[in-house]
Amino acid sequence: MIHELIVPQFTKMLTNLLAILDAAEKYAGEKKFDVGVLLHARLAPDQFDLMRQLQIVCDTAKLGAARLAGTEAASPADADTEQTVGEIKARIERVIAYLRGFSAEDFSGAASRRISQPRWNGKTLSGQEFLIHHVIPNFYFHVTTAYAILRHNGVGLGKKNYLGEMPYREPA
Amino acid sequence: MIHELIVPQFTKMLTNLLAILDAAEKYAGEKKFDVGVLLHARLAPDQFDLMRQLQIVCDTAKLGAARLAGTEAASPADADTEQTVGEIKARIERVIAYLRGFSAEDFSGAASRRISQPRWNGKTLSGQEFLIHHVIPNFYFHVTTAYAILRHNGVGLGKKNYLGEMPYREPA
């Protein structure tokens, strides 16, 4: 299930985020203000702004998949230097392409792999703990916060923009 | 993995939410305003207020577990009549107790069970799709939005309050 939780689902959420950013650009165009105002918006003065939220979304997905698959050392580096909507959209698209490179087999040993991060000072989580306690809640936290910053600033969004399409089966 | 994704993890997040509401009450007391102001706060005029966000968090967890386990008909009903912090905290505590009543075996057939909701007009998702596309993103969406409403209103919260403790293993 790890592949399903990360690869198709996170790529869907990231694709939704691209459309949400399109809506933000359109809104800025209609209201005739620089969309950069939104990229620097935040909900509290000591909270990360929208651009930083989006960068963290990208790294949570990229490094989450890489660490679970045991391929962190080979994952592409990102310098967090994006300044424009176009640049952060390009990064999101790179993460989508990167995630799609993982097969279900790439996560076959992931649940029991011991995983760490630089700031954990040698402490570890099992892959399953890392996925459930860290990757999933962090990913959705930063996607939702990005959405909330735009929603608060008047961009016309609803939860369907966040959730995206459901793979419904029609009634028989 | 369904049990781990829902029972221990959602109960942890709901427990974190109880502490976040304690922080909101403390903040209101210090600033000498009625905490009900926060319960009616929202980030956009056409967004649900904090109380409604918390009610949806509760139902997403409760009905998510019940539908996956095939026991929705026996799940306790909630009338969404809470007016105070005490009342919504009591409901969150009831959901925590309810979730803890599910064992891993209760979800043994969940991934392939066909699941529907009243508003889906007979359309269905598999249990695994319901969990990944619906329950998890909705649960974290409403928890994060509740957090964001309080954060925006000045309650002193950080992401650790949202994430809670990690089950780290110390370095050998």
Q: For B67-95, how does the pLDDT look when each residue is reduced to its tens digit (9 = 90+)?
A: 999 998 888 889 999 999 999 999 999 99
Distance from CA of B137 to the nearest CA of A (A): 7
Distance from CA of A91 to the nearest CA of B (A): 22
Chain A within 8 Å of B41 (Cβ-Cβ)? no
Distance from CA of B119 to the nearest CA of A (A): 12
Residues of A in contact with B159 (CB under 8 A): 138, 141
Residues of B in contact with A50 (CB under 8 A): none
B9/A162 Cβ within 8 A: no
For CA atoms A28, A31, A36, A38, the dihedral sign is: negative
What CATH superfamily classification does B2-163 receive? dinb family like domain (1.20.120.450)
Q: How large is the greatest C-alpha to C-alpha distance in chain A, in angstroms?
A: 54
Residues of B in contact with A159 (CB under 8 A): 138, 141
Distance from CA of B161 to the nearest CA of A (A): 12
| pLDDT of amino acid B57 | 98
Q: Six-digit token pair at A96?
A: 């989508």
Residues of B in contact with A9 (CB under 8 A): 132-133, 137
| pLDDT of amino acid B166 | 96
Vertex A45: Cα angle to A41 and A46 (nearest 5)? 115
- The pTM score is 0.97
Residues of B in contact with A4 (CB under 8 A): 128, 132
| pLDDT of amino acid B92 | 98
| Among B5, B117, B141, the residue to mutate for chain A (most A Cβ within 10 A) | B141
For residues A94 and B124, the answer to whether their CB atoms sit within 8 Å is no
What does DSSP assign to residue A133?
I
What pLDDT band is residue A92 in, cutting at 50, 70 and 90? very high
In this predicted structure, the answer to whether residue A74 has a pLDDT above a threshold of 90 is no
A154 vs B150: CA distance, rounded Å: 19
Chain A within 8 Å of B7 (Cβ-Cβ)? no
For chain A, the 3-state helix, strand and coil shares in percent, each to the nearest 5, are 65, 5, 30
User: Which of A29-33, A110-114, A126-130, B118-122 is least confident?
Assistant: B118-122
More confident residue, B118 or A80: A80
For residues B60 and A163, the answer to whether their CB atoms sit within 8 Å is no
Chain B within 8 Å of A43 (Cβ-Cβ)? yes
**pLDDT above 70 coverage of chain B, percent:** 100
- The counts of H helices and E strands in chain A are 7, 2
pLDDT, tens only, A126-159: 999 999 999 999 999 999 999 999 999 999 999 9
Q: Six-digit token pair at A142?
A: 């930063």
pLDDT, tens only, B117-147: 989 999 999 999 999 999 999 999 999 999 9
Give the other-Cβ count within 10 Å of B115's Cβ.
21
A1/B1 Cβ within 8 A: yes
B145/A148 Cβ within 8 A: yes
Contacts of B155 (CB under 8 A, 6+ apart): B20, B23, B24, B27, B38
Chain A within 8 Å of B119 (Cβ-Cβ)? no
Closest Cβ opposite residue A140 in set B134, B141, B170? B141
The pairs formed by B76-83 with CB atoms below 8 angstroms and a separation of 24 or more are B80/B52, B80/B55, B82/B51, B82/B54, B82/B55, B83/B36
Chain B within 8 Å of A86 (Cβ-Cβ)? no
Chain A within 8 Å of B156 (Cβ-Cβ)? no
